[in-house]
Structure 1
Amino acid sequence: MHTSKRVLRSLLLTVSTACLLGGCMMPAMVATNLEKSGYSSDIDKGRAVLLHHVKTLQAAGDPLGDYFYALGNSDGWIKDVQGDEAITELFRQAAAKGSMDAKILLALQKATGEPVPGKLNEGMVPNKDLRLWEAGLAELQPLLQQQCYVRRLVVGSRDLGTDLRPHVTTYAVAYKIWPTFRDGHHVQGAQGEWIKKVEKNPERHRLWEALEENCKVPADMWLARLYNK
């Protein structure tokens, strides 16, 4: 087997395991590692299509384009804006123009205290300031009742196979919340003791889990077909 294919298979096995453990949404990391495996030409072509899609939406005045632009900078494949606050401001601008996706990720950021919106591949826990956790959830719940998912630009298939065609995929968001109410949340104190911060709450667990279970996400949009590239 060709060396690059062996590296790719090893990478995909590692990432697939991570997906099983923590949920899968890691286009920037996958793209970076695929580049090292000899697939940089395909990645570059795919990113060019993604960027074309972003610019087309922005030129049409569609706030989804501004959201995708913010997300591209957050993921790191667009490098126009650096720094957590500056990238977060891009999401605020998209939200102000009407992007529901941006509003959802900003509310989730408030609830979890993540440095920038959109890092859904990482484990999320309640904000250290539980007032912000509750404030974020109060914003997030009605948003998810209107739109239960966020969209994402991806190079690579959902199951992380070798299909590198660029596309728009969607993910339900409530799965980042309900495990906290199912299991509770503890933090470790200075003396190594575990301190309960969020109690188990079966009622809230059911509410947030239902938002995920009832979420009907749109089918993936394959951009190469849309733009004949």
Structure 2
Amino acid sequence: MKKTHCQILVGATISLLLLISISGCQLAGVPVVTAMHVANVADQHAAGKRAEKLWDQQLAEMREMQARGDPMGDYLYALGNAQGWIKDTSDPLKIRDLLAKAAQEGSSDAKIVLGIYYFVGAIPHQGTRSIWLPDSLRDHQHGLQLIREGMQARCTYGEPVVSAYGNRAYLRYISAASRIWPYFRDGQYRKEANGNYITILDKDPRLEKEWRDLDSKCLASGATSE
């Protein structure tokens, strides 16, 4: 069969050479889609292995920071347990106490995230985890106070990111105010056992604008990163 306009697809992690024609050619009886699927799975597996190695490096650096008394190490330890990349505890009160310890030691990141925890009831980017501060301990005003205090040092908080394909681990910096103003725009609600919702934070256009402006100033300063 004459093949025209064929392309070469080289799998990054396995030695596959596929000749792809407009009519849908095959290689050694293997459909192109199947071969591409195999290549994708192999590539994802390799990326997963790289990610594991990068997380191990991140954890080693965190432990070194803790050992030398750097509060950033304790902050990352608390955040890791909340987000699930450290699995020493999933107790919401222990996580609160870990954040409070790091904040007391001088971590503005921990103070901001602790404030978000009190305000929202959860730590950002938990993934599939569902760790919520008990309703009786949530405190909007205390949360906002902690966030404001943390923002006096820096308008952002750090969060570790592992890029397997980029082969690097780094901290990205997120505007603290970006976590707050949407709640003043939309309000905050809790679902009761009977299925009804009750309001726990009213919409407030004035506070929405105040925190949105803080977010805009933080973004304009160049302090945030992806």
1:100 deviates by 0.9
1:211 aligns with 2:218: no
The 3-state SS of whatever aligns with 1:163 is coil
Distance 1:113 1:89 in 2: 14
Note if contact 2:114-2:146 (Cα within 8 Å) is conserved in structure 1.
no
1:95–1:118 Cα change, 3 Å: farther
- Matched with 2:38 is 3
TM-score by length of 2: 0.66
Contact 1:67–1:101 (CA under 8 A) maintained in structure 2: yes
TM-score by length of 1: 0.65
Match of 1:15 in 2: none
Gap change, CA 1:75 and 1:206, over 3 Å in 2: same
Structure 1 position 154 matched with structure 2 position 167:
no
Instruction: Provide the C-alpha distance between the structure 1 equivalents of 2:37 and 2:69, rounded to a whole number of angstroms.
Output: 46
Pair 1:146–1:207, CA change in 2 (3 A): farther
2:87 maps to: 79
Tell whether the 8 Å contact from 1:151 to 1:171 is kept in structure 2 after alignment. Answer: yes
Counterpart residue number, 1:182: 185
Percentage of identical aligned residues: 32
Counterpart of 2:119 (choices 111, 121, 124) is 111
CA contact (8 A) 2:116 2:143 kept: yes
Report the 3-state secondary structure (helix = DSSP H, G, I; strand = E; otherwise coil) of the residue aligned with 2:87: coil
Structure showing greater Rg: 2
Task: Tell me the SS of whatever aligns to 2:139.
Answer: helix
Query: Is 1:165–2:168 an aligned residue pair?
Result: yes
Q: Does 1:67 align with 2:79?
A: no
Amino acid at match of 2:207: R
Higher helix share: 1
Aligned to 1:100: 108
Report the Cα offset of residue 6 of structure 1: 6.1
| Residue-by-residue CA offset, 1:182-219 (whole Å, 9 max, x unaligned) | 23345566776665543332221111011111113255
1:139 counterpart = 2:146: yes
Superposition pairs for residues 4-43 of structure 1, below 5 Å?
5=40, 37-43=45-51
Amino acid at match of 1:177: I
Pick from 47, 50, 56 the counterpart of residue 55 of structure 2: 47
Unaligned runs of at least 5 residues, structure 2: 1-35
Aligned-partner residue type, residue 208 of structure 1 = W
**Structure 2 counterpart of 1:137, one-letter code:** L
Q: 1:201 to 1:101 in 2, by over 3 A?
A: same
| 2:169 maps to amino acid | P
Map of 1:202 onto structure 2: 205
More strand by share: 2
